[in-house]
Amino acid sequence: MLKLQVHLLATIAKARGVLQDRFDQLDPEGGYSTETVVVTAALAAVAIAVLAIIVAKIMAKGRSITLN
């Protein structure tokens, strides 16, 4: 069982190394493009706005409930 685990870990490490080398060749400078950062920021802003709207509606509905 231990031999299998060691062999599996060695295989995973080798595969990770190969994938890392290929990834490094795609973009030698690394990092994200400006477009990716802008799109991610826009999506985050939309998500925050949607969340704020949902919270506001839930709070309004909660305040309208009477416990008489």
Residuewise pLDDT in 10s, the chain (68 residues): 678 788 888 888 888 888 888 877 776 666 677 888 899 999 999 999 999 999 999 999 999 998 87
Give pairs for 48-54: CB < 8 Å, separation 24+: none
Q: What is the pLDDT of residue 7?
A: 82
Q: What is the pLDDT of residue 30?
A: 62
CA atoms of 44 and 46, how far apart (whole Å): 5
Q: What is the pLDDT of residue 57?
A: 94
